[in-house]
Structure 1
Amino acid sequence: MIAILGYVTRWICDDALIFTRIVEQILAGNGPVYNLGERAEASTSTLWQWLLAFAGFVFGQSDTSTLSWMLGLLLTAAGFGFAVSATSRLHGGHVAAMVPCGVLALLGVRPVWQYATSGLETGLNTFWMALCWWLLVRSRGGGSARSARSVVGAAFAMGLGPLVRPEQALVAAVFLAALWLVAKPSWRVTLGAVAAAGALPVGYEIFRMGFYGILVPMPALTKNASESFWARGFGYVGDFANPYLLWLPLVLCTVLLAGVLRRRTDLVVTLTPVVAGLLSLGYLLKVGGDYMHARMALPIFFLLMLPVLVVPASKNTRVAAVVLLAWAVLCGSLGQFVPRNGELIDDERGYYHAWTGQAWPTESADFTWKLEYLRNAARPRMLTYEGPGPQARILTVPLRADVPSKSVIIGVYLGTTGVMSPVDAGVVDFWGLANPIGARFEFPTVKPGHSKPLSNAWLLADYADPSAPVPSPGNFAVRADVTADQVAAARHALSCGELAEIQRSVREPMSPGRFWANLTGAVHRTGVTVPPDPFAAERTFCGSS
Structure 2
Amino acid sequence: MVLIAILGYLTRWICDDALIFTRIVQEILAGNGPVYNIGERAEASTSTLWQWLLAFAGFVFGQSDTSALSWMLGLLLTAAGFGFAVSATSRLHGGHVAAMVPAGVLALLGVRPVWQYATSGLETGLNTFWMALCWWLLVRSRESKSPRSVVAAAFAIGLGPLVRPEQTLVAAVFLAALWVVTKPAWRVTVAAVAAAGALPVGYEIFRMGFYGIIVPMPALTKNASESFWARGFAYVGDFGNPYLLWLPLVLCTVLLAGLLRRRTDLVVTLTPVVAGVLSLGYLLKVGGDYMHARMALPIFFLLMLPVLVVPASRKTRVVSVVLLAWAIFCGSVGQFIPQDGKLIDDERGYYHAWTGQAWPTESADFTWRMQYLKTAARPGMLTYEGPGPHQRLVTTPLRPDVPSKSMVVGIYLGTTGVMSPVDAGVVDFWGLANPIGARFDFPTVKPGHSKPLSNAWLLADYADPSAPVPSPGNFAVRADVTADEVAAARHALSCGDLAEIQRSVREPMSPGRFWANLTGAVHRTGVTVPPDPFAAERTFCGHP
* TM-score of Structure 1 vs Structure 2, range by shorter chain: over 0.9
Letter of the 2:405 partner, please give it.
K
Cα separation, 1, equivalents of 2:500 and 2:514? 13
Task: Tell me if the contact between 2:387 and 2:478 (Cα under 8 Å) persists in the aligned partners.
Answer: no
Shift of 1:138: 0.1
Distance 1:271 1:209, change over 3 A: same
Describe the SS at the equivalent of 1:99: strand
Aligned counterpart for 1:135 among listed residues 116, 133, 137: 137
Describe the SS at the equivalent of 1:294: coil
1:151 aligned partner: 150
Aligned counterpart for 2:69 among listed residues 53, 67, 70: 67
Describe the SS at the equivalent of 1:451: coil
1:518 aligned partner: 517
1:110 aligned partner: 112
Cα separation, 1, equivalents of 2:426 and 2:515? 28
1:384 aligned partner: 384
Task: Tell me if the contact between 2:388 and 2:476 (Cα under 8 Å) persists in the aligned partners.
Answer: no
Shift of 1:396: 1.3
Cα separation, 1, equivalents of 2:210 and 2:237? 39
Structure 2: 5+ residue runs without aligned partners?
none
- Report Cα offsets for 1:471-517 as digits up to 9, x if no partner: 12444511111011110000000000000000000000000000000
Letter of the 2:293 partner, please give it.
A
Cα separation, 1, equivalents of 2:264 and 2:394? 68
Task: Tell me if the contact between 1:141 and 1:182 (Cα under 8 Å) persists in the aligned partners.
Answer: no
With the length of structure 2 as denominator, give the TM-score of the two structures: 0.98
1:7 aligned partner: 9
Task: Tell me if the contact between 1:385 and 1:411 (Cα under 8 Å) persists in the aligned partners.
Answer: no
Letter of the 2:127 partner, please give it.
N
- Report Cα offsets for 1:432-462 as digits up to 9, x if no partner: 0000000001131310110000000000000
Letter of the 1:383 partner, please give it.
T
Task: Tell me if the contact between 1:385 and 1:392 (Cα under 8 Å) persists in the aligned partners.
Answer: yes
Describe the SS at the equivalent of 1:256: helix
Identity of aligned residues (%): 88
Distance 1:59 1:266, change over 3 A: same
Shift of 1:387: 7.0
Letter of the 1:31 partner, please give it.
G
Matched, 1:92 2:104: no
1:277 aligned partner: 276
1:218 aligned partner: 217
2:306 aligned partner: 307
2:21 aligned partner: 19
2:58 aligned partner: 56
Cα separation, 2, equivalents of 1:387 and 1:362? 31
Runs ≥4 residues deviating over 4 A: 386-389
Matched, 1:408 2:399: no
Task: Tell me if the contact between 1:394 and 1:476 (Cα under 8 Å) persists in the aligned partners.
Answer: no
With the length of structure 1 as denominator, give the TM-score of the two structures: 0.98
1:204 aligned partner: 203
Shift of 1:16: 0.1
Aligned counterpart for 2:34 among listed residues 32, 35, 58: 32
- Report Cα offsets for 1:418-437 as digits up to 9, x if no partner: 00000000000000000000
Cα separation, 2, equivalents of 1:122 and 1:319? 32
**Paired positions, count:** 541
Cα separation, 1, equivalents of 2:384 and 2:234? 34
Matched, 1:258 2:260: no
Shift of 1:142: 5.1
Q: Cα RMSD between the aligned structures? A: 1.1
Letter of the 2:440 partner, please give it.
F
Task: Tell me if the contact between 2:101 and 2:320 (Cα under 8 Å) persists in the aligned partners.
Answer: yes
Distance 1:219 1:6, change over 3 A: same
Task: Tell me if the contact between 2:85 and 2:136 (Cα under 8 Å) persists in the aligned partners.
Answer: yes
- Report Cα offsets for 1:492-545 as digits up to 9, x if no partner: 000000000000000000000000000000000000000001011000000002
Letter of the 1:6 partner, please give it.
G
Describe the SS at the equivalent of 1:92: coil
Shift of 1:392: 3.2
Describe the SS at the equivalent of 2:383: strand
Describe the SS at the equivalent of 1:352: helix
1:187 aligned partner: 186
Matched, 1:122 2:119: no
- Report Cα offsets for 1:296-322 as digits up to 9, x if no partner: 000000000000000000000000000
1:234 aligned partner: 233
Letter of the 2:279 partner, please give it.
S
Cα separation, 2, equivalents of 1:498 and 1:286? 29
Cα separation, 2, equivalents of 1:346 and 1:49? 24
1:83 aligned partner: 85
